[in-house]
Amino acid sequence: MGFRNARDTMAGRIDDIIENFELLDEWDDRYRYLIELGRELDPLPEAAHNEDNKVRGCASQVWLETHLAKSDGAAVLTFLGDSDAHIVRGLVYLILALYSGHSAQEILATDAQDLFHRLGLDAHLTPQRSNGVRAMVERIKADARAAMAPT
């Protein structure tokens, strides 16, 4: 299909995903691309498929594992994720591409709805999947807020 590799760099992933979505006219093809993205998720260790990492509010099972590091005094969060549903794994990939590897401040300032609107996903996801996306984003933002809290 001529897609650019969406895994090349953190900063370039979202731009590549948007560009690849724009190449696809049919929603069946866009859903297939989402499934393809989900297959590219870094593996989540089996031990991380636990209740602490489970995202509440998703119809499918979704797990997010958060890792915190400091870079130049700023809290930087990276995430691993997984789901038991193919399309949802693709949505997890999108969310992680948007937020993983960024500072807590950047995460809090980034609106995932802008990306989903730009990709047209806001109009093509079921209400259950939209609620699941919001739950994932809220979980990531809650982790970012916690990382910024004084210890």
pLDDT tens for 9-36 read 444 689 999 999 999 999 999 999 999 9
Q: What is the pTM of this model?
A: 0.89
The answer for 101, left when phi > 0, alpha when psi is -120 to 50, beta otherwise, is left
Do the Cβ atoms of 130 and 122 come closer than 8 Å? Answer: yes
**In this structure, what token pair is assigned to residue 95?**
């969310």
Q: With b meaning 16 or more CB within 10 Å and e meaning fewer, what string describes 60-72?
A: bebbbbbeeeeee
Q: What is the pLDDT of residue 58?
A: 82
Q: What is the pLDDT of residue 105?
A: 96
Q: What is the pLDDT of residue 6?
A: 38
Spans of the chain below 50 pLDDT: 1-11
- Residue spans of the domains in the chain: they are 10-148
Alpha carbon distance 72, 142 (integer Å):
22
Helix ranges, the chain (H): 10-23, 27-39, 86-99, 104-109, 112-119, 127-148
State the distance between the two ends of the chain, measured CA to CA, in whole angstroms.
49
> Which is it for strands 62-71 and 102-103: parallel, antiparallel or unpaired?
unpaired
123 is catalytic: no
User: Following CA atoms 116, 108, 106, 22 in sequence, which dihedral angle do they give, to the nearest 10 degrees?
Assistant: 0
Catalytic residue among 44, 58, 75, 94: 58
CATH assignment of 10-148, given 3.40.50.920, 3.40.50.1240, 3.30.1490.190, 3.90.1010.10?
Answer: 3.90.1010.10
Q: What is the pLDDT of residue 71?
A: 85
